[in-house]
Amino acid sequence: MAWFNKIAKGIQQQKPKEIPDGLWLKCESCQEIIYRKELEKKLWVCPNCGFHIKIDASRYLQILSDENSFQEKDALLRSTDPLNFSDSKSYPERVKEAVKKTGLNSALLSGTCTISGIRVSLAIMDFRFIGGSMGSVVGEKVARAIERAIELKIPLLIVCASGGARMQEGILSLMQMAKTSALLSILSEKKLPYLTILTNPTTAGVMASYASLGDVIIAEPKALLGFAGPRVIKQTIGKELPENFQTSEFFREHGFIDIIAERKNLKVVVSQLLKYLYLPK
Amino acid sequence: MGEYFLAFEKPLYELRQKVQELREQQALSALDLSRELNSLEEKLKNMQRKVYSNLSRWERVQVARHPNRPTSLEYIKNMVENFVELSGDRNFRDDKAVITGLGMIGTHKVAFIGQEKGKGTNDKIFRNFGMMHPEGYRKALRVMHLAQKFGLPIVILIDTPGAYPGIGAEERGQAEAIARNQFEMAQLKTPIVIVIIGEGASGGALGIGLGDVILMLENSWYSVISPEGCAAILWRDRGEAPKAAQALRLCATDLMELKMIDRILPEPPGGAHWDPITAINTVKIEISNELDKLKNIPYPQLIQARINKYRVMGAWEEN
Ligand SMILES: [Zn+2]
């Protein structure tokens, strides 16, 4: 399972970049120069071409939740180094850098909030933190978010952004797929709604577990989704990949996504769905 | 079986050659060579033990991939009686990378699922090298539901270099198929015994890998990513696979230490490919024992224990 940031360069989509500083910003899709204030107002969607720029978990929280309704949970969970893993850098060093860069302890922000007045258990992944990769902490926080939904009898919403499982935790990362999928089966038995929002990119281990298991699956436009990375597929089959391959639109056409919603409509779509699936009839 | 051997196996093959020559000589000669023969055989066993107890993780990956290592079909032949193969996912096609069916293992009626990599070039292509498509995961799930309906326990052998990365696989929802199987397997009202017999590559393995008991043959590997895949990403060079294998801690003893599996199954000296029948027999006995233990557990408890098993996996701190 690969991280998106190492595999997709130059193929299909651009590598998602974090928002740089500066008053004027260039859209990575159409290259148009845009005033920062304008982008902020448009929720970081290019006014020229509609490209959805990668945003962090706190911005999604702002977009989705009712003001001042969020209570963060499990914020102190931190990665350890179960394999004593080291490549060009040691794993603890990588984590430390990510913590410093993002101000977060992990690649997932979770808690409860209300969305149009409906209380939900919410989890939002943050791609800036080691490519949104899922290790034990992300898996555990998702597990607790599921259990919170069950305990409080409220819906679960997960916003996904991930290149897959975190290699530095080896087999422990892989098992987070099993752990989260197994717990979601309990949530499902309890008939509590589970919605997922897939953002650019959601691939590999996360896509092959909780991201694909929503009762309703929503995706932002033109996100890169899928199991294998485009470069791996290209190398395997030795052919060019079709246009729009592995985009949100591709997966909707093939029957794996329910709704493609622009960022500005996410909250409305989620609220509507919850009214059908959750609120008393 | 072809005379294929790994670099570190060369002295072993040479010694085995000598043993065979001596045996032939004995058959033709009036001289009693039994003492020489015995001592040479003893020497071979010791050498096997020595070479195989000191393998690096990367060397063990080579053993797991050995072309003569028994694959699911040989297990079916030697372990499953009266096997009835079942085909297809009832939706798209029959995926040949996974073999499913009904049979007897010892005294147990079981639903059997095994990934098959194939032997020899044509067969490997026919089996797609054991790389399943989404319809393979759905075929397996169909047979699991059949097992649940008719109260049969499920036995699963894992041996795959990964789920197939291709256009059709993505079009038909490879990720969804793997996710769905884990979700469904968590709630199956029948025992599930998993044995990793060779390669356990990532989601491709886990897609049929969630169960009540996870056993692993001594020289198999199970990891979040193949050593080559990991090396390509973290070292930017597939040639660094030996380093990646070391770092990933993907061998049976590692997984046991990390509490990710229930037990390691010993292989004959030198590995399963030196004596497939003995290896398969060990697997058969272990599966039988596990089924004996699992068959009397009421399914609500079984399912709860199965989910709890995965619930506690992971390492973190909280302060
Ligand atoms: Zn643009």
Residues B242-288 have pLDDT tens digits of 999 999 999 999 999 999 999 999 999 889 999 999 999 999 999 99
| B120-148 average pLDDT score | 98
- The model's pTM is 0.94
Q: Is the pLDDT of residue A70 over 50?
A: yes
- Tell me the shortest Cα–Cα distance from B182 to chain A, in angstroms: 6
Q: Are strands B221-223 and B192-201 parallel, antiparallel or unpaired?
A: parallel
Rounded Cα gap, residues A110 and A103, in angstroms: 15
Contact pairs from chain A to chain B, CB under 8 Å: 209
Rounded Cα gap, residues A70 and A219, in angstroms: 23
Q: What is the pLDDT of residue A281?
A: 52
Rounded Cα gap, residues A172 and A135, in angstroms: 7
- Where residue A9 falls among pLDDT bands split at 50, 70, 90? very low
- Alpha carbon distance, N-terminus to C-terminus of chain A: 42
A:220-249 residues touching chain B, CB 8 A cutoff: 225-229, 232-233, 236-237, 241-242, 245-246
- Where residue A22 falls among pLDDT bands split at 50, 70, 90? confident
CA A151 to chain centre: 24
Half-sphere exposure of B211 (CA within 13 A, CB side): 30
Chain B within 8 Å of A147 (Cβ-Cβ)?
A: no
- A229 with A11: CB under 8 angstroms? no
Least confident of A224-233, B39-48, B68-77, B116-125: B39-48
- B135 with B89: CB under 8 angstroms? yes
| Helix (H) / strand (E) containing B123 | helix B121-126
Rounded Cα gap, residues B8 and A161, in angstroms: 44
Closest by Cβ to B316, choosing from A87, A136, A251: A136
Instruction: Render pLDDT for B149-185 as a digit per residue (tens, 0 to 9).
Output: 999 999 999 999 999 999 999 999 999 999 999 999 9
Report how far apart, in Å, the C-alpha atoms of B98 and of each of A160, B101, B162, B205 are.
Answer: 31, 10, 12, 11
What are the backbone angles phi and psi of residue A19, rounded to the nearest 5°? -70, 120
| A6-29 average pLDDT score | 62
Chain B within 8 Å of A173 (Cβ-Cβ)?
A: yes
Q: What is the pLDDT of residue A195?
A: 98
Rounded Cα gap, residues B254 and B77, in angstroms: 30
- A198 with A127: CB under 8 angstroms? no
| B204-220 average pLDDT score | 98
Question: Ligand 1: distance of its center to the CA of A64 in Å?
Answer: 23
- A178 with B313: CB under 8 angstroms? yes
Question: Ligand 1: distance of its center to the CA of A27 in Å?
Answer: 5
In percent, how much of chain B has pLDDT > 90? 85
- A124 with A109: CB under 8 angstroms? yes
Residue A238 backbone zone (phi > 0: left; psi -120 to 50: alpha; other: beta): left
Question: Ligand 1: distance of its center to the CA of B29 in Å?
Answer: 87
Question: Ligand 1: distance of its center to the CA of A130 in Å?
Answer: 26
Domains of chain A, earliest start first? 21-53 (no CATH), 54-277 (3.90.226.10)
The DSSP output letter for A224 is: B
Residues of A in contact with B141 (CB under 8 A): none
Q: Is the pLDDT of residue B234 over 70?
A: yes
Nearest to A158 by CA among A57, A25, A237: A57
Beta bridge partners, A198, equal: A160, A219
Tokens standing for residue B148 = 């649940």
- Where residue B92 falls among pLDDT bands split at 50, 70, 90? very high
Amino acid identity of residue A154, one-letter, is I
Tokens standing for residue A156 = 């679960």
**CB crowding A105-122: b at 16 or more within 10 Å, else e:** bbbbbbbbbbbeebbbbb
Prediction ipTM score = 0.95
